Structure 1
Amino acid sequence: MHLQDIYKIFELHPNVSTDSRTLEKGDIFFALKGPNFDANKLALKALEDGASYSIVDDQTLPDLAQIIKVKDVLETLQQLAALHRSKMNARVIAITGSNGKTTTKELLARVLSKKYNTIYTSGNLNNHIGVPLSLLKIKAETEMAVIEMGANHVGEIRKLCLLAHPDYGIITNIGKAHLEGFGSITGVINAKSEMYAFIDDNGGLLFVNKDNELLNRLSANIKRFTFGNELSSDLYAELINSDPFLHIAWEYKGMQSVTTTKLIGTYNAENLFTAIAVGCLFDVSQDDIEDAVSTYAPSNSRSQLIETRKNRIIMDAYNANPVSMEAAIRNFNSMRGNKSLVILGDMLELGEESDYEHANILKLLTDLDFMEVILVGPLFENVYGGDDWHIFADADALCKYIEKNPVKNYDVLIKGSRGIRLEKVLPLL
């Protein structure tokens, strides 16, 4: 079946699914394949469960009216999303970066939703499957679409830009994330810069943190809206203090504001500034911008301040790389009380740099005089040769230890890659 014919079906059934477990009645089911699964085997079951159509690339499936056979299901999903994007009038803002993508995305959506009909990437649907699914959620009435883009190989951001065709682009920062796939920090820079190149080639506009020397340099000759602590920035913004919540001041075209937020971590200031910059450019009122950023509270183990009956916890185990882990440790150091405990999980996908980067984190902890430290995972175990700190193979082993050795009246930092599952520890603290 031709793509245009599939699109006509999509117009009648505008909800799609790639997961038979969450399929809803009327969805078009895309039977994707992966290294360990083949959803073609679920295509008929999806129809029984209420799918309007199943799109498959297994040519041996029965010739039924509700079975649409294509050469490649993933390619069809991507082409359908690109076609749909081209037919919609929504302005698309793309976000990528080594850290802060999700927080920035959510802040942007809160600000823009004050004035515009806005959709944004759900959860972490930011890859070659997630971006098409996000684009297909754009409706005729949608005015703004905030699309998060992730990558771990050179060339992926450009491919996602070709699907989403963003009008505006944001790189939150560039750091040592996914080095295993990118090969080096130079690879990370080249990969993330693909968004800048696409925006430049297509006459779009960038939002750029002028305080970030690298981003400022990479975007110097591209149309942009700047923000930061320099008076020459389009939006002047500065961090006043963190106690532990961030207090910020900003000024734009006569608007002046001092805003108290529910975010912790000085590294989140640039995420706030990005959202404010976008709001200013799109004429969201000062009151609405202030309300959006001051009431935003993170979730899902991202820079959460949690007060339990026993401890005060900084829960930041959504993800980790050398830059974000150092920032979290330094921020925790600035706010820790008399009794502090650091619980760190491995940083994944660092490739050949793994030992070096994990050792650097251990040195930082030593330099900052952290006495009580718990390390979790084989990568930290590879480089830790001392006996002053506790080390565990995984989160389950740590949980068993804490059950026998309760932690009370501590400031606790929990930081690690999602794959280490440090959230398991939280109920015990």
Structure 2
Amino acid sequence: MNYTITEIATIVKAQKRAYKDYTITALLTDSRSLTFPEETLFFALVTERNDGHRYIKDLYRKGVRNFVVEHRVADEELMPEANFIIVKNTLDALQQLAAAHRKKFDIPVIGVTGSNGKTTVKEWLYQLLQPDYNTVRSPRSYNSQIGVPLSVWQIGSKTEMAIFEAGISQPDEMIHLEEIIKPTLGLITNIGEAHQEGFQTIQQKCIEKLTLLKACDCIIYDGDNELICECVEKLCFGCREIAWSRKDRDKPLYISKIIKGNDST
């Protein structure tokens, strides 16, 4: 889908000003990944290690004309064709735009989370579903606060299904990703020690990850994992649950045997 700069400025609650008429199809956060400058909107993200505002002049020279920034830009008068959309926080603006984009589509969306295996499961699902549905998925391991919005932006008018992975390293991060992905079906792979330093307990991390699935029609999880089962019960999702098991024949999915070959399972 295409958005005008004025539409985007309204979505991200930018400071009111007159904008030149451009249509946006591509979002950019890494200046090294520029492909279609005339249709690109660059978000000048500010992190502990870098400041995207430093790259605006170079991107302008390369043809980019639309920028989301947190303050007025030095030598702005030397970039007369540019639009500068000023917001309080560029990352928040990126996420707001992606969330608004997601709301335009009433399609099945699979959200995958967990400590390990997110990308592998996502790719497996994509291989299974793509022959029957026009499916988009997270590129590579785009599962962060920045990667998820860029992934969701790929949904278009011909998309029939989407698969996105979501990863976190700190409390209160998943709620933002849930607002962007809005999965209709959720899957949690497992809970391990990865990124544990950001959480007080492993239970806290499990509940935080399960936040992604809070509005799903159906959730899928390991019925043999006591921690995940306890957290699912505590959160009272109230939706359909499919728990797989290697032990309990009464679970919705019972795995009776696993046969591993040299290049297959």
TM-score (norm 1): 0.52
One-letter amino acid of the counterpart of residue 121, structure 2:
T
Larger strand percent:
1
**SS in structure 2 opposite 1:214?**
helix
**SS in structure 2 opposite 1:50?**
coil
Other-structure match for 2:133: 116
Q: How far did residue 160 of structure 1 move?
A: 0.9
| Residue among 67, 74, 77 paired with 1:54 | 67
Other-structure match for 2:255: 237
| Residue among 224, 227, 233 paired with 1:211 | 224
TM-score (norm 2): 0.81
Q: How far did residue 44 of structure 1 move?
A: 2.6
Residue deviations 1:189-239, cap 9 Å, x none? 23223234x23xxx5210122233333343355322333333323333344
**SS in structure 1 opposite 2:255?**
strand
One-letter amino acid of the counterpart of residue 157, structure 1:
M
| 1:99 matches 2:99 | no
Aligned length: 243
Q: 1:114 to 1:11 in 2, by over 3 A?
A: farther
Specify every segment of 5 or more residues in structure 2 that has no aligned partner in the other structure, as ranges.
Answer: 12-19
| 1:89 matches 2:106 | yes
Q: How far did residue 6 of structure 1 move?
A: 6.0
Other-structure match for 1:21: 32
Residue deviations 1:247-289, cap 9 Å, x none? xxxxxxxxxxxxxx2x5xxxxxxxxxxxxxxxxxxxxxxxxxx
**SS in structure 2 opposite 1:183?**
coil
Other-structure match for 2:17: none
Report the Cα distance in structure 1 between the residues aligned to 2:61 and 2:145, rounded to whole angstroms: 28
Q: How far did residue 37 of structure 1 move?
A: 1.5
Specify every segment of 5 or more residues in structure 1 that has no aligned partner in the other structure, as ranges.
Answer: 246-260, 264-429
| 1:31 matches 2:51 | no
| 1:182 matches 2:199 | yes
One-letter amino acid of the counterpart of residue 34, structure 1:
T
Report the Cα distance in structure 1 between the residues aligned to 2:259 and 2:251, rounded to whole angstroms: 21
One-letter amino acid of the counterpart of residue 134, structure 1:
S
| Residue among 138, 149, 162 paired with 2:155 | 138
Other-structure match for 2:190: 173
Larger helix percent:
1
The answer (yes or no) to whether the contact 2:9–2:85 under 8 Å persists in 1 is: no
Report the Cα distance in structure 2 between the residues aligned to 1:153 and 1:57, rounded to whole angstroms: 24
Q: How far did residue 175 of structure 1 move?
A: 1.6
Aligned Cα root-mean-square deviation (Å): 2.6
The answer (yes or no) to whether the contact 1:208–1:226 under 8 Å persists in 2 is: yes
Report the Cα distance in structure 2 between the residues aligned to 1:10 and 1:19, rounded to whole angstroms: 24
Q: How far did residue 166 of structure 1 move?
A: 1.4
Q: How far did residue 136 of structure 1 move?
A: 0.7
| 1:41 matches 2:54 | yes
The answer (yes or no) to whether the contact 2:110–2:185 under 8 Å persists in 1 is: yes
Report the Cα distance in structure 1 between the residues aligned to 2:218 and 2:175, rounded to whole angstroms: 16
Larger mean CA deviation between 137-146 and 49-58 belongs to 49-58
The answer (yes or no) to whether the contact 1:117–1:141 under 8 Å persists in 2 is: yes
| 1:66 matches 2:82 | yes
**SS in structure 2 opposite 1:60?**
coil
The answer (yes or no) to whether the contact 2:137–2:164 under 8 Å persists in 1 is: yes
User: What stretches of structure 1 move > 6 A for 4+ residues in a row?
Assistant: none
Q: 1:190 to 1:227 in 2, by over 3 A?
A: closer
Residue deviations 1:46-77, cap 9 Å, x none? 12213242222231341644322222221111
The answer (yes or no) to whether the contact 2:108–2:160 under 8 Å persists in 1 is: yes
One-letter amino acid of the counterpart of residue 241, structure 1:
I
Q: 1:119 to 1:99 in 2, by over 3 A?
A: same
Q: How far did residue 5 of structure 1 move?
A: 4.4
